[in-house]
A and B are shown apart, each in its own frame.
Chain A
Amino acid sequence: MSTSTAQGPATDVAPAPEQRPGGRLPRWAPWAAFVAALAVAYLVGLATSTNVVLLVIYTVVIGTAGLYVASRIVEGPRRAVDRLVTCLVSSAFGIAMVPLVSLAYEVIRRGVLRFDGEFFGASLVGVIGEGGGAYHAIMGTLIITLLTTLISVPIGLLTAIYLVEYGSGRLKRAITFFVDVMTGIPSIVAGLFAYALFVIFFGAGIRLGIMGAVALSVLMIPVVVRSAEEVLKLVPNELREAAYALGVPKWRTIVKVVLPTAIAGLGTGVTLAIARVIGETAPLLVTVGITNGTNLNPFEGRMATLPVYAFYQLTQPGVPPENAIDRAWTAALILIMLVMGLNVVARLISRFFAPKTSR
């Protein structure tokens, strides 16, 4: 828990007088405190027949308290508070790991049950009870995400180019500000927007794949703009000037020099933006709906998508519920794998496609 070695330099600089009298705890003191606390907690646990979670909580609390008291006696109050905070801060990080680990464990444990060929090959047409798959939902997610990317990347990239290369004055400030605001639009509101837009042309109750793509674009565009803007700003001005000095027009400078130099960062940004929207559920729920059959045409009728599929399989499983719930967890697992895969791809892009500079 506590890293006593890292505390060395800070205390060596200037030992304040009031810390002197008691001296210092040995380096192994924090470890000893927590081992002792574990033993105590275990004994308490025996008495009350408790579980692992409580055991860990007892250990941390008792260990922290013990270390604080020991430090206060030996090292004085200031050092004791420092050790207390070290324990608290480390615990904060530990607490954050609990959801991550338990979530990964739970999704994998329950998701692998139906992680089979049929799940990837079959739809839900005519499925009652066992079997069935999410082929239609996987295809729907891929199609809608592709459409979203096709809409968002040109708009987002051009906006970023405007902000970095052309923009000035009030319009630039307005766009920057509202892009920031747009990143905060709740995803369900983006879905309602797409619905309200299409209702005007097609009448109430309309559900289309392209509506989902429009809704997701509202969420994806600001992410693309922000990341592309950051990356374009990193391109050294010297390169632009070098191109201008060769008599290259500004737009060719941007297309042939600035964008290629930034390509790794742009690829990373776009990939992360895709990862951000591929798991979105709420906007698709109100715009694309759900269907049991395979519909690959985003311009006609409802489509199934992986997140919405997972939602309905979990919340409306039918009788008996187990089969649908298993399918739901497998869909969730695939969703996580997609998102994590995209994150890994993004890191690889930034590592391997970065321009080879010596500086």
Chain B
Amino acid sequence: MAKRIDVSDLDIYYGKFLAVQGVNVSIEPRSITALIGPSGCGKSTFLRSINRMHEVIPGARVEGKVVMDGQDLYAPDTDPVTVRRQIGMVFQRPNPFPTMSIYDNVAAGMRLNAKKMSKAATDELVERSLRGANLWEEVKDRLDRPGSGLSGGQQQRLCIARAIAVEPDVLLMDEPCSALDPISTLAIEDLMTELKERFTIVIVTHNMQQAARVSQQTGFFNLNGVGQPGRLIEFNPTEKIFSNPDEKATEDYISGRFG
């Protein structure tokens, strides 16, 4: 299920503006890869280009290669919609569909893609996904209530359940805890550690302790100045990044000297 992702020479544009330049990285399956760096350095942009969400923005485009287990995601005959089914995403702010119940939110990926499923199979899928997101016990009695009635942390776990319900190979998380309180954050972090057994996880975070706690690999993004493109400065095992980084800029950032 979990697949590796190889990125080579990736340039990411907003119209004419080069936002991220020359990313080369290999993301290992069944592990958590964290992306850190100061605001506006292109981590989120890079994350969104992995599952071709970047091009949803008008004028946005990408040059270079992203390959997932040998499949070129940016090949001319690759359908971005198929890519997004294989690579799920969780956003910074929890965004359950307000018109749908908790149950329908989890089943949304199947329902919206018009996959015909029996009631029993859907029930089973919803329970499995909610259990997978550590949310089942909290919501099993109110599956027909609107998803927006849950707390922020529960909503975010609902969004994770929704994402894993379509059984992707990779899960991208864009600052999933930045809108949450510490207890909810802890719950999500525990969940990530469980999920990495089944998925390849890439997480963007501003919280360096979080990166250190949950990830196996860490990439540090930075930019030289305003208007300059962001770059992947260093990519190494998390332990090395936080104890003995190769680059001076990484060390400065981690020790809080800038950013």
> Which residues of A are at the interface with B, using a C-beta cutoff of 8 A?
168, 236, 238-249, 252-253, 256-257, 260-261, 263, 355-359
Contacts and interface: CB of A to CB of B under 8 A. Distances in A.
A168 B163 contact: no
Interface in B135-150: 146, 148-149
A61 to B, nearest CB: 54
Given A239-B95, A357-B98, 12 more contacts: A240-B56, A242-B95, A242-B162, A245-B84, A245-B89, A246-B88, A246-B108, A248-B81, A257-B97, A257-B112, A357-B148, A358-B149
B98 A355 contact: yes
The number of chain B residues touching the other chain, given as a range, is: 20 to 34
Question: Which of A168, A236, A253, A256 has the most chain B CB within a 10 Å cutoff?
Answer: A256
Interface string B74-118: 000000011111101101010111110000000011011110000
A252 B53 contact: no
Nearest to A354: B98
Given A261-B98, A357-B148, A245 B81 contact: no
A358 B91 CA distance: 18
A355 B166 CA distance: 25
Nearest to A248: B112
Contact of B53 (A239, A241, A261, A357): A241
Contact of A246 (B83, B149, B166): B166
A252 B91 CA distance: 20
20 contacts: A239-B97, A240-B56, A241-B91, A241-B95, A242-B95, A242-B159, A245-B51, A245-B84, A245-B89, A246-B109, A246-B166, A247-B82, A247-B85, A247-B86, A256-B112, A260-B99, A261-B97, A355-B148, A357-B148, A359-B148
A240 B51 CA distance: 15
Given A246-B85, A246-B162, A252 B99 contact: no
B58 interface: yes
Nearest to A262: B99
B166 A247 contact: yes
A203 B198 CA distance: 73
Nearest to A261: B99
Interface string B205-245: 00000000000000000000000000000000000000000
Contacts of B58: 168
B172 to A, nearest CB: 8
Nearest to A253: B112
Task: For the complex of A and B, list the 5 residue pairs with the smallest distance between their C-beta atoms, beginning with the closest.
Answer: A247-B85, A245-B89, A238-B95, A246-B109, A355-B98
A238 B112 contact: no
A355 B96 CA distance: 12
Chain A interface helix/strand/loop/mixed: helix
B126 to A, nearest CB: 14
Contact of B113 (A242, A245, A252, A257): A252
A246 to B, nearest CB: 4
Nearest to B112: A248
A236 to B, nearest CB: 7
Contacts of B91: 238, 241-242, 245
B148 A238 contact: no
B109 A358 contact: no
B97 A245 contact: no
Contacts of B149: 356, 358
Contact of B148 (A243, A244, A358): A358
Question: Which of B93, B95, B98, B114 has the most chain A CB within a 10 Å cutoff?
Answer: B98
A245 B53 contact: yes
A295 B162 CA distance: 55
Question: Which of B84, B146, B166 has the most chain A CB within a 10 Å cutoff?
Answer: B84
A247 B99 contact: no
B112 A244 contact: no
Contacts of A239: 95, 97-98
A339 B83 CA distance: 50
B54 to A, nearest CB: 11
B151 to A, nearest CB: 9
A247 B56 CA distance: 12
A247 B81 contact: yes
